[in-house]
Amino acid sequence: MEQARYEKLLTSNEILTLLTALGTGIGKAGGTTGNDDFDVAKLRYHRIIIMTDADVDGAHVRTLLLTFFYRQMPELVERGHIYIAQPPLYKVKAGREELYLQGAADLDNFLLRIALVHAAVHTGGDNGTVLTGDTLTELARKHQLAQAVIARLAHFLDVSALRAIADGVALNMDTLADAEASASALQAQLPDAEVAGEFDVRTDKPILRISRRLHGNIKSSVLTQDFVHGADYAALSEAAKTFKGLLSEGAKVTRGEGERQKEHKVSDFREAMAWLILQAEGATSRQRYKGLGEMNPEQLWETTMDPKVRILLRVQIDDAIEADKVFTMLMGDEVEPRREFIETNALQAGNIDI
């Protein structure tokens, strides 16, 4: 499907207009057109800026355009003429502060900063302390990192299992016996699922299989040995060590000063942060730009087109041949290489439309 879209792109009016504007022609030796009409000396512009919508559809268009330049005009890429604009996805306002934000991670950081203004977490218990300032900020960022891992992996892995790991369930997958013991520990926290330690003959490694019945069908997700040895598991495990037992009976979270101060009783740090973020969301306004056409001319200029403030990424290729192999693998007719690539990189994927 993507290959068909690329071939259609080559003959589109937009590409023909682009070629006329650039003035270089198309089809330098090594490209896919098989002629020598390309002449970089005729290039009329030093910078060629790809500016697409900030959402997933915009990313698809950007991928097609990059493929076009990789395959038909590689010298433009090698000489550093190709740039990618970075339009914002959000505009936020809190009080008198207005900001444009690039993506979800920036939005999360903004909301966290607003949430922690005049905030405190009272740990409760007989020897309870009050967490404020830099101490609370550091704890909040650790929690935010763990939550970001859970949100990203939830597209592929059982979200309750991920939360159980963040709450302190430790996994060991070195041997099948270790996997079976870990399955029992995880099963205790997931009474509505079936957890089993198995041996994957394809990878020759133990796995944990988590199965749930959904609308009469069995939905399974797998935790692998590589996951347990990876950075995502380490982040969840670190969160477990940090927050387990941090709050005791009588714990509460407060935000604000004087008569405007609000408070909320909580049982754990996750609940405290959820309440603080909710307060921050209520104190801010947010506008999401799915497309550049949703901005008025002034906003488009001050965020994406003004040379004084715009953000551009220069496209660089150390090995154009290797880059072309990747595009061929992702868009070609051979299924197995593409499936292997997706399986290897799935857990690192973000910004996915479901």
Q: Report pLDDT for 333.
A: 62
pLDDT tens track for 295-324 = 888 888 988 899 998 889 888 876 445 556
Nearest to 176 by CA among 208, 151, 145: 208
Question: Between residues 89 and 56, which one has the greater pLDDT?
Answer: 89
Nearest to 313 by CA among 48, 106, 85, 102: 85
> What does the alpha-carbon distance between residue 275 and residue 293 come to, in Å, rounded to a whole number?
35
Average pLDDT for 131-154: 94
pLDDT tens track for 234-286 = 999 999 999 988 999 999 999 999 888 999 999 999 999 999 999 999 999 99
- Do 347 and 99 meet the contact criterion of CB atoms below 8 Å apart? no
Question: Between residues 105 and 321, which one has the greater pLDDT?
Answer: 105
- Do 58 and 52 meet the contact criterion of CB atoms below 8 Å apart? yes
